[in-house]
Amino acid sequence: MNSQKTQNHQYIMSRQRLLLTLIVVAMTVHSSLAQQIKVIGQNVQNFFYSVDRGRTQGSGSISMSYYSTEAGRDTKLNAIVGTLSQYEADVYAFNEVECCAEVLQLLAQRMTEYTQKTYLPVADGLTYDKSTEPDGAIKSGFIYNATTVEPVGDNVTTAVGYKNVYPATMRMQAFKAKSTDEVFYISMNHFKASTSADPLYDTNQRESNSISLLKGLDQAVLDPDILVMGDLNSEMGEQCLNNLVDAGYTEQILEHEGSEAASHWYIADGSLIDHVFANSTMAAQITDARMLYVANPHSTGSYSTAYSDHDPYMVTLNLQAQPEVKYCYKKVNNVTPGRSYIMVFNDEMVANAVDITKTYEYLTISAVSPDGDVITLPSNRNSYKLEPVGDGTYFIKDHYGRYLYQYHNGTSYNSSTNAGTLKDAHAHNVTLQSDGTFHVHNILSNGNILYEKKYNTCSWRDWTSLNTGNYWPTLWEYDPDVTPSAITDVPVCRQPATTIKVVEQGRIIIKTPRGNYNVNGTY
């Protein structure tokens, strides 16, 4: 009998080893089929196609766009392309190019001549009126290697809510790798520079930039993989970048190069104000991200010969089969400052954020189906961060970086898109009640968050008790640092019929009918 048990055990172990071997082989084969993509970004400091603006080049530098002849333009063009062409990137993303079609066509044509590869511009339809803006207007734009990638869908602005220059300087484009058909998005951005007499004005403008950007990224519907790049004119720790981090994006240059990275040089001291952020599925496919210091002489102190005051940076992608994205939230009986939560009513309805095109509305709801104490959602756009005020109360900030507030005791929800002007007055008490629901109370207005069956929405009310069909919220917490000790800790993530790749709690997992694996083995 013992011999039979031993044989059965050995058989089971051999089958498990075989399964793991097959998975590793499959992953290795798939990895070999994955296409490596190189993306280079840079602020090229006012590169214009136009040469009729009545300016002359200043201080012997080719970095400024104040050339008044085609020869002056070609000097800067050759400096840009001569430097960046050596990397033969699949996509080049630029800040501060002239807001016209010709400038990207010129860059693509010259890149083709230097590399003997076919580069094309991404059409965006942007232009400006030279009669009203004789010094020119700038935009962000893309050129790409037509042999390896192709643009998919429209080139769109991510400056949702802006009417002036930002729709041209905050752009997003999806690209498809031709060898694998894998799709990813690049969002190239230029935030407000610190040029005003009032530094707080610039800081608030950048925070509004990031709030607008997070709204605009909702247009990425073809694929969840998103790179957010560009001259964001801010170092880590500023609120505009905190908003990106809170929304699930991680800074990749710091991740791969380290804290010494710098992109912009003030005489001698460099700072990292150009950034590459990635969401969780994109970050899992980034093999490298770093500054290219040797590419532009500005970083070495040769200011008179630099074509820009910003260094370029390069991101290397190893695109793989698209993971299925899952965000798991666990029901809680207490809250932790700084964590993200969804508000659920009667275990069947989750509150959404105020629509990205609006500044106020009754909160709409979506249906959910909890599995025990876990709810799994395809995105984190329903989540709210409880930001501590410092006295035991909380500001409530949505996925887009907007603070909820109540205007003139109204029953609909307002979201602050002007950083710092409204949030300070709208702190909330968050108190657990005996039935497991929470009393989320706006101290200023005396309003409480609740669901009203009559309107099928969430509203502010100063009620102390509820009628039948109305509900207080329960809170369900997401924490990317928490890893389940076993797959049974996340019961909604069941075993599939076939092998797939998913993202659970920010980690890529290979799920098979027999078990779950990551790069370190089995759970």
Q: What is the model's pLDDT at position 309?
A: 82
Helix (H) or strand (E) holding 106: helix 101-115
pLDDT band at 72 (very low <50, low <70, confident <90, very high): confident
Token couple for 77 = 């063009």
DSSP-based three-state secondary structure for 439 = strand
Average pLDDT over residues 417-440: 80
CB atoms within 10 A of CB 389: 16
Q: What is the model's pLDDT at position 7?
A: 56
Is residue 494 over pLDDT 90?
no
Task: Give pLDDT tens digits for 99-118.
Answer: 999 999 999 999 999 999 99
DSSP-based three-state secondary structure for 140 = strand
Is residue 514 over pLDDT 90?
no
Q: What is the model's pLDDT at position 156?
A: 97
Contact 216, 247 (CB under 8 A): no
Task: Give pLDDT tens digits for 421-430.
Answer: 566 668 899 9
Of 191-195, 355-359, 389-393, 415-419, minimum mean pLDDT range = 415-419
Is residue 216 over pLDDT 70?
yes
State pTM to two decimals.
0.78
CA quadruple 216, 84, 288, 90: dihedral, nearest 10: 60
Please name the amino acid found at residue 459.
Answer: S
Is residue 19 over pLDDT 60?
no
Radius of gyration (C-alpha) of the chain in whole angstroms: 26
Q: What is the model's pLDDT at position 519?
A: 36
Task: Give pLDDT tens digits for 257-287.
Answer: 888 888 886 555 678 899 999 998 999 999 9
Please name the amino acid found at residue 352.
Answer: N
Q: What is the model's pLDDT at position 436?
A: 95
Contact 168, 157 (CB under 8 A): yes
DSSP-based three-state secondary structure for 78 = helix
Is residue 98 over pLDDT 90?
yes
